[in-house]
């Protein structure tokens, strides 16, 4: 019986192409072997980026869970294995994606020409419906809308079904978390035209937004143009924030009122202004 074999020259020619694709997807080589066996020794930058390490971690933390919960955790880990594809797609669209960033489900990402869209190391984007406790009713949306616009996500930022659209500038600091359905919009998107018409406009009426480090933004909250939120501030679920929130303060309501940090003496009163 004659066995067909792939020519050695063909296999060796395919290795550089495969290695280039792995590097583009954020992998690094941990093997000293040059040819096919070395391919099996590639791993994602940051140990948490590999499917094997993800599954091992899930198994170690599941001893107290029910069988149904264990299945759900494993399926979540498997969804994360497709992260490399979505990261690769984001880079092809012009976004800068840091090491160990993970995408659960396919986000919507678009970058205008000559704009800057950067996703920092360790950022997590949750777009799959079953990958978050509240359910992701839509994918994450990250867009720079005009040339020169900037959208920057710092290290370890977490987003669930979150929309960030920058006509001018949106900056999010390290460790900030966004609840399901939160939106950050630095412009009005439209301006009146004629007697009853509207025209698309994302730059002329835009004002920069800056969100500090370690901020928590609740589900369905909306951050509007020109707002600065200080480090460790909290924005309540459903809040519509139109003015600055100092570091450590709490914003809640529509329109949002700003409350100082809670003291042991009792509940805080909203600030004026």
Q: How far apart (Å, rounded) are the C-alpha atoms in residues 161 and 133?
A: 12
Q: What is the mean pLDDT of residues 90-103?
A: 92
Structure tokens at 121: 């190391």
Min mean pLDDT across 24-28, 124-128, 160-164 is at 24-28
Q: What is the mean pLDDT of residues 22-33?
A: 48
Min mean pLDDT across 3-7, 163-167, 220-224, 257-261 is at 3-7
Residue 154 contacts residue 175 (beta carbons within 8 Å): yes
Residues near 134 by Cβ (< 8 Å), separated by ≥ 6?
A: 160, 179, 180, 219
Confidence of residue 252 (pLDDT cuts 50, 70, 90): very high
Q: Read off the pLDDT of residues 59-95 as tens digits, 9 standing for 90 and up.
A: 556 666 676 666 666 665 565 566 788 898 999 999 9
pTM for the structure as a whole? 0.70
The strand pair at 150-153 and 108-111 is best described as unpaired
- For residue 54, is pLDDT > 60? no
Structure tokens at 83: 């992260």
Does residue 122 come out as left (phi exceeding 0), alpha (psi in the -120 to 50 range) or beta? left
Q: How far apart (Å, rounded) are the C-alpha atoms in residues 189 and 200?
A: 6
Confidence of residue 151 (pLDDT cuts 50, 70, 90): very high
Structure tokens at 175: 């460790």
pLDDT at 29: 53
Structure tokens at 155: 């290290």
Q: How far apart (Å, rounded) are the C-alpha atoms in residues 59 and 231?
A: 35
Cα–Cα nearest to 143, from 124, 170, 174, 175:
170
Cα separations in angstroms, 78 against 52, 56, 73, 191, 262: 10, 12, 9, 44, 41
- For residue 132, is pLDDT > 80? no
């Amino acid at each position: 019986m004659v066995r067909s074999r792939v020519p050695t020259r063909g296999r060796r020619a395919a290795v550089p192409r495969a290695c280039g694709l792995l590097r583009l997807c954020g992998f690094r080589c941990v093997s000293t072997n040059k040819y096919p066996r070395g391919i099996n020794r590639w791993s994602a930058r940051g140990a948490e980026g590999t499917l094997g390490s993800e599954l091992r971690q899930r198994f170690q933390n599941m001893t107290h869970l029910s069988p149904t919960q264990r299945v759900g955790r494993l399926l979540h880990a498997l969804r994360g294995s497709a992260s490399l594809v979505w990261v690769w797609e984001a880079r092809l669209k012009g976004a800068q994606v840091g090491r160990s960033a993970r995408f659960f489900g396919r986000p919507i990402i678009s970058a205008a020409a000559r704009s800057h869209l950067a996703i920092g190391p360790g950022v997590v984007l949750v777009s799959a419906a079953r990958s978050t406790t509240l359910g992701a009713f839509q994918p994450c949306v990250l867009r720079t809308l005009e040339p020169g616009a900037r959208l920057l996500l710092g290290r370890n930022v977490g987003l669930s079904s979150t929309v960030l659209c920058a006509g001018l500038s949106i900056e999010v600091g390290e460790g900030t978390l966004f609840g399901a359905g939160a939106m950050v919009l630095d412009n009005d998107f439209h301006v009146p035209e004629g007697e009853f018409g509207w025209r698309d406009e994302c730059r002329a009426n835009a004002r920069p937004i800056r969100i500090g480090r370690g901020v928590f933004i609740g589900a369905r909250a909306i951050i509007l143009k020109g707002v600065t939120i200080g480090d460790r501030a909290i924005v309540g679920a459903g809040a519509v924030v139109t003015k600055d929130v100092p570091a450590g303060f709490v914003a809640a309501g529509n329109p949002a009122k700003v409350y100082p940090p809670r003291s042991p003496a009792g509940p805080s009163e909203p600030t004026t202004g």
